[in-house]
Amino acid sequence: QPATGLLASLDLLRVETAGPVLHLRLMRPAKRNAISDPLLAQIHTVLVNLPADIRAMVISGEGEHFCAGLDLSELVERDVGGAVLHSRAWHATFDALQFGRVPVVAALHGAVVGGGLELASACHIRVAEDSAYFGLPEGQRGIFVGGGGSVRIPRLVGVACMTDLMLTGRVLDADEGRATGLVQYRVADGQGLAKAVALAQRIATNAPMSNYAVMHALPRIAEMAPGEGLLTESLMAAIAESTPDAQERLRAFLDKRAGKVVKG
Ligand code: 1HE
């Protein structure tokens, strides 16, 4: 279903919903979905105006590539102060994505480079088609990451791998993306969106508080000392367990009304 109202008015994105899943598609294919200030602002608008019945999201890119990163044509006119604020605007948007209300699955194909990789790394799960490739050309452009990449990408692939990408301009293919931990699912060309939507539909069936705990508590616990992490885990578990949603799901299992864990 096409979105209505505010979400339908955004000219650089296409927003559609399928039940509890919202699909946000970057719609600047002529510029390889390069992220300009207006595109960044529109992504933020979607994230802070999610309809209440949405429980998971998918992000994809129109055309031959997922995203060519920062719109470089805008960079040449910025002074130092403007550059700081610009980077902080990326942080605000990608924080709204990573620490929003619902999990986000990225459907990746073609170029996933620079700020495009920063966007992908703020998502919760990454699905890559065979055509996908990953790079950080900031080194060649004389700049540095500014969209949260230095925080998020090493947490996925390690500092050494990110250093290699930035210093040497190395580009990882879909297989290497999978091997380094950047990519969780690898699919044939043309299958990425369907896989991402299927995963999002599955995620949307979880209890919202469980998903919230995974999104908000898990990455923070990973940064804590073990003692603080364990206490935070207990508090989060107690909150999740005591929701009516959890109580009903536990009862359903005990009454043999719920599915078992199955392979594959
Ligand atoms: C762009 C951008 C862009 C394409 N900003 N306009 N990102 C990069 O350094 C990647 C730069 N882009 C590329 O390397 C290539 O465009 C691609 C490999 C992504 C795609 O190649 P291709 O052959 O399909 O397209 P193209 O012919 O290079 O580009 C088509 C048009 O998109 C062309 O404009 P046109 O007016 O001549 O048609 C390109 O100029 C334009 N285009 N990418 C602006 N990025 C928060 S900090 C983040 C820092 C970064 O992201 S740095 C990395 C930036």
Q: What is the value of ipTM here, to two decimals?
A: 0.98
Give the start-to-end residue ranges of the domains of the chain. 5-204, 208-254
Output the average pLDDT for the chain. Answer: 96
37 in contact with ligand 1, CB cutoff 6 A: no
CB of 148 within 6 A of ligand 1: the answer is: no
Fold identical between 5-204 and 208-254? no
- The model's pLDDT over 211-253, given as tens digits with 9 standing for 90+, comes to 999 999 999 999 999 999 999 999 999 999 999 999 999 999 9
| Answer CATH for 5-204 from 3.40.50.10490, 3.40.50.12780, 3.90.226.10, 3.40.50.850 | 3.90.226.10
Measuring from atom 44 of ligand 1, which residue has the nearest CA?
A: 71
Residue from 32, 77, 144, 150 whose mutation best tests the ligand 1 pocket (most atoms within 8 A of CB): 32
Per-residue pLDDT of 116-154, as tens digits, reads 999 999 999 999 999 999 999 998 899 999 999 999 999
For residue 73, which atom of ligand 1 is closest to its CA?
44
Residue nearest ligand 1's atom 37 by CA: 31
Supply the Cα-derived Rg of the chain in whole angstroms: 19
Q: Would the pLDDT of 264 be above 80?
A: no
CATH 1.10.12.10 correct for 208-254: yes
Q: Encode pLDDT of 69-109 as tens digits.
A: 999 998 887 889 999 999 999 999 999 999 999 999 999 99
